[in-house]
A and B are shown apart, each in its own frame.
Chain A
Amino acid sequence: MTDSKYFTTTKKGEIFELKAELNSDKKEKKKEAVKKVIASMTVGKDVSALFPDVVNCMQTDNLELKKLVYLYLMNYAKSQPDMAIMAVNTFVKDCEDPNPLIRALAVRTMGCIRVDKITEYLCEPLRKCLKDEDPYVRKTAAVCVAKLHDINAQLVEDQGFLDTLKDLISDSNPMVVANAVAALSEIAESHPNSNLLDLNPQTINKLLTALNECTEWGQIFILDCLANYTPRDDRESQSICERVTPRLSHANSAVVLSAVKVLMKFMEMLPKDLDYYGTLLKKLAPPLVTLLSAEPELQYVALRNINLIVQRRPEILKHEMKVFFVKYNDPIYVKLEKLDIMIRLASQANIAQVLAELKEYATEVDVDFVRKAVRAIGRCAIKVEQSAERCVSTLLDLIQTKVNYVVQEAIVVIKDIFRKYPNKYESVIATLCENLDSLDEPEARAAMIWIVGEYAERIDNADELLESFLEGFHDESTQVQLQLLTGIVKLFLKKPTETQELVQQVLSLATQDSDNPDLRDRGYIYWRLLSTDPVAAKEVVLAEKPLISEETDLIEPTLLEELICHIGTLASVYHKPPSAFVEGSRGVQHKRLPGSAGSGESVDSPDTGSAAGVSEAPPAVIPSQGDLLGDLLNLDLTPPTTTGPPPPTSGMQMGAMDLLGGGLDSLLGGDLGGNPAMAAGFGAPPAVMPTSFNAPVSGGLDDLFDLGGGVGMPMGSYSPPKTVWLPAMKAKGLEISGTFARRSGVIQMEMTLTNKAMSVMTDFAIQFNRNSFGLAPAGPLQVLTPLSPNQSIEVSLPLNTVGPVMKMEPLNNLQVAVKNNIDVFYFSCQYPISMLFVEDGKMERQVFLATWKDIPNDNESQFQIKDCHLSSDAASNKLQGSNIFTIAKRTVEGQDMLYQSIKLTNGIWVLAELRVQAGNPNYTVSLKCRAPEVSQSVFQSYEAVLKN
């Protein structure tokens, strides 16, 4: 008994006294005694010794006394199971009582007694109560099934209680329905695959009817249950939404939020051009705003959810910025959440207001809040370009306050602003440098060092500044050390003459005196770079950096979708999927938003059979110009042999190899060469590295680069095998078979021309019809020698994409005309769209997130790739060969999600999410693109690449 440790003051006498009173003949005295016992129990005193005496009082017609005894029983039965059996008879008898209140009370209490022996006796009374004529008893019994299931799940299944419970969903009384739903939902949580709540249009209708009439709590259960249903079509979805919207005006905030969940989910299925869709969006804002006027605890949960809603559908609250303004007496947890949402809603239209607010917050008392407010100013600058200047000046004002933590926070965000808008605000560097000494937090120090290193050429005393940090190098945190190393190397590359000593000092500190492997490795890499090829070093270290993107903290799209399905739950508060933290949720199913009605390919209808790879597509000959001769000739021809796939292009030569092999190219020209100390310093590394320095390190690097080459470029772009495009019989003896390939960024049309006629063919020329991507020959068809009968020639025709554009059907169709001395022939072929994937199609991670969010869901289509037995890494490598770049990978419950980007020659971006489940040969690929027409072809390329 856990309570026993609080058992301190009960004197022996007290228990004795109570015992006597409990056995008194007088009803009143008995009752008072039971009350005293209960009172002791509630404060944690151990009164279990009185068990038999209290149970004796159970047989009474006084309802209050009975209730009190039941209370006692529930508490102590577990510790006195044998005694508890004594009570069984009374329970069974009470379950037959004419008063429904007593029947319900008995069955309710029995369920709370967690003793196995008692549960056996519970089954019969429970069965009766589930079919009781009185709904009050039925609804109590429904909950009792859930209790019993918690104690003994097997028993509940064996006794068939689950089916009875399912029947209760169709009960005439709404309260019974609600409780049955609640009980089933709870049971279902421990049986994820049991399909207990089998939702079909009939049950949904019953639930919707009960929704209007049951209590507020029942409404929550029913709404949460409704949210698990997937409507058949948009019409059903709309009708459910219509019946749920009145709940948005309920006084109970939990009802409101559960209704929001249902609406947010079912809205996905509504076509966006529907009037109702717009109406619904408008209806969602006021209830969400109202939630913010409730108690702070409710506000907190509401804000966490609004944070999700704003990410998914920013349009709902875009005009409601002001309600998120912080009041000084809001609890800190509310303040921080409001701030987060303010930044998400910030736009050009309201940025002035937001900035004024943020500036106000930066002078508040609470340090955490002030810091976040300062950071928020930086985020605004990055998000809304027009406001950047204002933000910077606000930050400068804040730096002038000299409040230590404000200054540090400001410097960290100014660094990010520099990264977003390089060469724009560097004038403020002087002000920043003034505060160098006050920085004591690693993040701020690292940020400052980064700024000094990055703009070393504009800061006269950059070397002094960095040197001052170097003194305490070993006391700095790793973050600062790494930054200092990079910063000084940058400085050296920019001002080599004065800073040789400094750079040698930092390199030796990093490589010899540090035991941090990251630092050492970075140190050696710089060292090597500088000693072998300082020009290359300059190119590497001072390379132009990609700009950072605005949204740094967006939730990943798939996770966001899942969380939207969990609005109002703990998952929505933690912003994690339930599987990540809810204990006992064995194999919680991942929920996904239903596909929108607009997108043709819905989740379960990818017809992979018809979506055949390009190579199988039969070549179509447009004008049938076949004549007798052709036909005749064809008779004695061996079937055209398709040549095997072209040899894979060799792995791209890593330029890095040169780096190692190259000698000591001079950065300073004669200067370096004429400076033996310097050369020696680099060429012959010091003690730790013995003279064999070059060998092992370069060996190691070789491996590294080999690996890089192997992984990155396994086989080059995929190219399908050649197929016959123009059979000889249709072209007076000229047969053309061919394929497309992309080699080092050039699209090649590779053809085999075979002369199957009797006469020599000459004067070849080729022309393309207008096509979807403007493909056109980049030069004339090079067939130099006349083609004699029975002779074949391989021709490779480079293509460009600057030709005239016309949309074709299918998209990748190409109509070609070939001319020779005999005639003009026409044929059409389909090129794999992967030929059009360009090499610089790797999207910045953040840009990807933002773009994914930005592209409407209607443009998403999903496909299945069947029977693919590659691991996700192998698949990723393979795809990369065809310029499908994996940007990020995430593993959720054994399922790998690869996020990929593709850029087409005409600048269209295609974003993809490839889901690979270990052991499951079927991949799912979701494609999102602003031009959804390309999805089908892109998918075909995926399939072709992965299967070859």
Chain B
Amino acid sequence: MIHSLFLINHTGDIFLEKHWKSVISRSVCDYFFEAKEKAGDPENVPPVLQTPHHYLITIYRGKLFLLSVIQTEVPPLFVIEFLHRVADTFQDYFGECSEGVIKDNVVTVYELLEEMLDNGFPLATESNVLKEMIKPPNILRSVVNTLTGSSNVGDTLPTGQLSNIPWRRAGVKYTNNEAYFDVIEEIDAILDKSGTTVFAEIQGVIEACVRLTGMPDLTLSFMNPRLLDDVSFHPCVRFKRWEAERVLSFIPPDGNFTLMTYHVSSQNLVAIPVYVKQSISFFESGSCGRLDITLGPKQTMGKMVEGLTVTIHMPKTVLSANLTATQGNYTYDLATKVLVWDIGKLNPQKLPNLKGSLSVQAGAPKPEENPSLNIGLKIQQLAISGLKVSRLDMYGEKYKPFKGVKYVTKAGKFQVRT
């Protein structure tokens, strides 16, 4: 199972290590550094590396590498999932997962790692359970602790660990009982030069924030559950009822959690909210090129498209961009060669346009590749797949909770080829 964990920042310093079995020398990370060197971009480091005696499985999150060392045949997905869970837990506890906060909270981090893994086997990874055993740092609490002499660590056995519902603690109490659900859909799409959809799908997720007293048993039903043919659920969802009745029936964890993710891939259901007219060309002679991009609404279901951005990774030889935007601002980062055009709201009456010239390094050959456009956007109050929650019912408790559902559609990996 998982033998050791090393936390490494993006410059390649190991700033924390934890061993669950015998100690493994940090020099094992040299193999990783070698691969990192070779890959260039930190995102391109292969996640599974073989060394003479160990396997290194790495994830890259928030400019940090979480590198785990394993010695025997272990499912790599298991390790990768666990590492992401570690990063999620840090995020949950400290607000972010960065070298700074980890160093500031090194003892809590250590306690957490010890609690999450025993002999390389995951022990407690549910945020609800962990928080009962190790209190998250909090200025107020440390003051209280100093005054009363109480500690950060719970001394009762966390109830969730053993009940049939390991994700929910007992004895939850709120004065305001509320349950909110956010239906978030991301459009992943590839459009070709002419604007035809090469590939499109929707990645949907329902994030929940549930603060309800006691042991509520919730049922969430949809107007059109047939849309969802491929779903994955939080362990709390009763799969049998979904199979039989297409409703989500569950006892929720306390607080924030992801209730389900789904994806819709049938092309006809995926609406493309904007169209892009673009031309980026470089001239054979003379060191310049031209760029002209216009965006317009396509299938927006009558809603406003907001937060519109266009990101272009320019060829390495492009030195600067001299452009005019009819709406919003653009920036060109010389170091990363990324052009970002931040448009904001899309006005169907006056379509935003970005136009001008690009200057290319003198003497350099005409760039071989065509830069792709990455589109960012957001549409409030709309799930682009048409998914709608019809009702939420609660059983098991007497009070009347406050309920709310929000919809939002965003662009995921939305690319336009040129």
Tell me the A residues contacting B by CB distance below 8 Å: 2-3, 6, 27-28, 31, 35, 38-39, 42-44, 62-65, 67-68, 71, 75, 78, 99-101, 108, 111-112, 114, 134-136, 140, 143-144, 146-147, 150, 173, 175, 179, 182-183, 186, 189, 213, 215-217, 220, 224, 246, 249-254, 256-258, 286-287, 289-290, 293, 295-298, 300-302, 322-323, 325, 327-329, 331-333, 353, 356-357, 360, 363-365, 401, 403, 568-571, 573-574, 578, 581-585
Q: Is the CB of B190 within 8 A of A363?
A: no
Q: Could you say which of B39, B74, B161, B261 contacts A136, with CB atoms under 8 Å apart? A: B161
Q: Could you tell me if B81 and A253 are in contact, using CB atoms closer than 8 angstroms? A: yes
Please determine whether B162 and A252 come into contact, CB atoms closer than 8 angstroms.
Answer: no
Chain A nearest CB from B414 CB (Å) reads 10
B353 contacts chain A at the CB level, 8 A cutoff: no
Select B17's contact among A42, A298, A300, beta carbons within 8 Å.
Answer: A42
Say whether A296 contacts B43, CB under 8 Å: yes
B21 nearest in chain A by CB position: A150
CA distance A652 to B235 in the complex (A): 71
Question: With an 8 A cutoff between CB atoms, is B55 at the interface?
Answer: yes
> What are 30 inter-chain pairs, A to B, with CB distance below 8 A?
A28-B149, A35-B107, A64-B152, A67-B111, A68-B111, A75-B23, A78-B23, A112-B119, A114-B21, A136-B157, A136-B162, A175-B162, A213-B164, A215-B166, A220-B75, A220-B78, A224-B75, A249-B233, A249-B239, A251-B235, A253-B77, A297-B47, A297-B59, A323-B201, A327-B415, A328-B415, A356-B198, A364-B369, A581-B50, A585-B72
Instruction: Chain A residues near B146: list those with CB within 8 A.
Output: 28
A65 & B44 in contact (Cβ 8 Å cutoff): no
Q: How far is the CA of A249 from the CA of B228 in the complex (A)?
A: 12
Contact between chains at B233 and A250 (CB < 8 Å): yes
A38-B110, A114-B22, A300-B48 known; A325-B190 Cβ under 8 A: yes
Pairwise interchain contact A27-B258, C-beta atoms closer than 8 A: no
Q: Do B43 and A146 touch (CB < 8 A)?
A: no
- Known A328-B372, A333-B44: A186·B72 in contact at CB below 8 Å: yes
Question: A111, A175, A183, A298: which has the most chain B beta carbons within 10 Å?
Answer: A298
- Are B111 and A182 neighbours in the complex by a CB distance under 8 Å? no
The answer on a CB contact under 8 Å between B47 and A301 is: yes
Give the residue of A27, A150, A569 whose beta carbon is less than 8 angstroms from that of B73. Answer: A569
The answer, yes or no, to whether B80 is at the interface (CB within 8 Å) is yes
Complex CA gap A246/B82 in Å reads: 21
Known: A67-B111, A251-B261, A301-B77. A363 touches B72 (CB 8 A): no
Q: Do A293 and B73 form a contact, CB below 8 Å, given A63-B153, A363-B369?
A: no
Contact in complex: A570, B44 (CB < 8 Å): no
Residues of B within 8 A of A2 (CB): 23, 25-26
> What is the chain A residue whose CB lies nearest that of B198?
A325
Q: Mark B36-76, 1 if CB is under 8 A from A, else 0.
A: 00010101101110100101011110000000000111111
- Asked if B368 contacts A363 (CB within 8 A), the reply is yes
Contact partner, B81, options A252, A289, A328, A353, Cβ 8 Å: A252
Expressed in whole angstroms, the Cα–Cα distance for A108 and B124 within the complex equals 14
By a CB distance below 8 angstroms, the chain A residues around B164 are 213
Min Cβ gap B199→A in Å is 4
User: In the complex, which residues of chain B have a beta carbon less than 8 angstroms from the beta carbon of A143?
Assistant: 118-119, 121
Closest to B78 in A: A254
Question: What residues of A have a CB within 8 angstroms of the CB of B290 in the complex?
Answer: none
Any A CB within 8 A of the CB of B301: no
Whether the Cβ atoms of B162 and A173 lie closer than 8 Å is yes
* Cross-chain contact A333 with B47 (CB below 8 angstroms): yes
Chain B residues with Cβ below 8 Å from A296 are 43, 47
Contacts of A251 in B (CB 8 A): 232-235, 258, 260-261
What 8 additional pairs, Cβ within 8 angstroms, besides A75-B23, A215-B125, A327-B188?
A: A42-B18, A68-B107, A71-B111, A253-B80, A254-B81, A287-B232, A293-B203, A300-B46
Q: How far is the CA of A322 from the CA of B200 in the complex (A)?
A: 9
Least CB distance, A365 to chain B, in whole angstroms? 5
Cβ B44 vs Cβ A331 within 8 A: yes
Query: In terms of DSSP, what is the predominant structure of the interface of chain B?
Result: mixed
B374 at the interface (CB under 8 A from A): yes
Query: With A and B bound together, what is the CA distance between A300 and B80 in angstroms?
Result: 11
The A interface is mostly helix, strand or loop, or mixed, namely: helix
Q: List B contacts of A39 (CB < 8 A).
A: 106-107
User: Are A295 and B80 touching (Cβ within 8 A)?
Assistant: yes
- Interface residue total, chain B, C-beta cutoff 8 A: 96
Q: Verify if B284 is at the interface (C-beta below 8 Å from A).
A: no
CB proximity of A274 to chain B, nearest CB, Å? 20
- A365 to chain B: closest residue by CB: B369
Q: A308 vs B263: C-alpha distance in the bound complex, in angstroms? A: 24
**In whole angstroms, how far apart are the Cα atoms of A71 and B260 in the complex?**
37
How close is A123's CB to chain B, nearest CB, in angstroms? Answer: 17
Cβ–Cβ < 8 Å partners of A287 in chain B: 230, 232
* B44 contact set on A, CB distance < 8 A: 331-333
In the complex, A329 Cα to B336 Cα: how many Å? 14
Q: Tally the A-B contacts, defined by beta carbons under 8 Å.
A: 243
B387 within 8 A of A: no
Scan residues 353-384 of chain B and give those whose CB is less than 8 A from a CB of chain A: 368-370, 372, 374
In the complex, chain B residues 149-200 whose Cβ is within 8 Å of any chain A Cβ:
149, 151-157, 161-162, 164, 166, 188, 190, 192, 198-199
Give Cα A136–Cα B233 distance, bound, in whole angstroms: 26
Q: Contact between A256 and B232 (Cβ–Cβ < 8 Å)? A: yes
Q: Looking at the assembled complex, report how far the CB atom of B158 sits from the nearest CB atom of chain A, in whole angstroms.
A: 8
Are B413 and A327 in contact, with the CB atoms below 8 A? yes
B75 touches A568 (CB 8 A): yes
Which A residues are in CB contact (< 8 Å) with B198? 322, 325, 353, 356-357
Question: What 0/1 pattern do residues 253 to 276 of B give for CB contact below 8 A with A?
Answer: 000001011010100000000000
Residues of B within 8 A of A253 (CB): 77, 80-81
Asked if B15 is an interface residue, CB under 8 A from chain A, the answer is: yes
Cα(A941)–Cα(B411), bound, Å: 65
CA distance A27 to B149 in the complex (A): 9
| Interface membership of B392, Cβ < 8 A | no
Contact A360 B203 (CB under 8 A): no
Measured CA separation A546–B370 after assembly (Å)? 41
- A286 vs B228: C-alpha distance when bound (angstroms): 11
Interchain CB contact under 8 A, A325 and B199: yes
By a CB distance below 8 angstroms, the chain B residues around A42 are 16-18, 106-107, 109-110
Q: How far is the CA of A568 from the CA of B75 in the complex (A)?
A: 5
In the assembled complex, the Cα of A287 lies from the Cα of B18 at a distance in Å of 34
Chain A nearest CB from B257 CB (Å) reads 10
Note all chain B residues with C-beta closer than 8 A to A325: 190, 198-199
B233 CB to closest chain A CB, in angstroms?
A: 6
Q: Is the CB of B199 within 8 A of A71?
A: no
Given A186-B72, A189-B73, A583-B53; A295-B84 close (CB under 8 Å): yes
Specify which chain A residues have a CB less than 8 angstroms from the CB of B258 in the assembled complex.
251
Contact A254 B73 (CB under 8 A): no
Contact call B119/A574, Cβ cutoff below 8 A: no
Task: Assess A100 versus B118: contact at CB under 8 Å? Given A38-B110, A254-B75, A297-B59.
Answer: no
Closest partner residue, chain A, to B70 (CB atom): A570
Are B75 and A43 in contact, CB atoms less than 8 angstroms apart? Answer: no
A91 CB to nearest B CB, Å = 16
Kindly state whether residue B417 has any CB partner on chain A within 8 Å: yes
Closest approach, in angstroms, between the C-beta of A298 and any C-beta of chain B?
Answer: 5
Q: How far is the CA of A352 from the CA of B263 in the complex (A)?
A: 26
- B122 interface contact, C-beta 8 A: yes
Nearest residue, chain B, Cβ from A321: B199
Q: Which of A100, A295, A570 contacts B74 (CB 8 A)?
A: A570
Contact A293 B263 (CB under 8 A): yes
Q: How far is the CA of A531 from the CA of B1 in the complex (A)?
A: 67
Inter-chain contacts of A329 with B (CB < 8 A): 313, 374, 413, 415
CB pair A67 B121 closer than 8 Å:
no
**Which 5 residue pairs are nearest across A and B when measured between Cβ atoms?**
A286-B230, A64-B153, A297-B47, A254-B77, A64-B151
Which residues on B sit within 8 Å (CB–CB) of A364? 369
| Closest-CB distance, A232 to chain B (whole angstroms) | 27
Closest to B368 in A: A403
Measured between beta carbons, the chain B residues less than 8 angstroms from A108 are 118
B231 adjacent to chain A (CB < 8 Å): yes
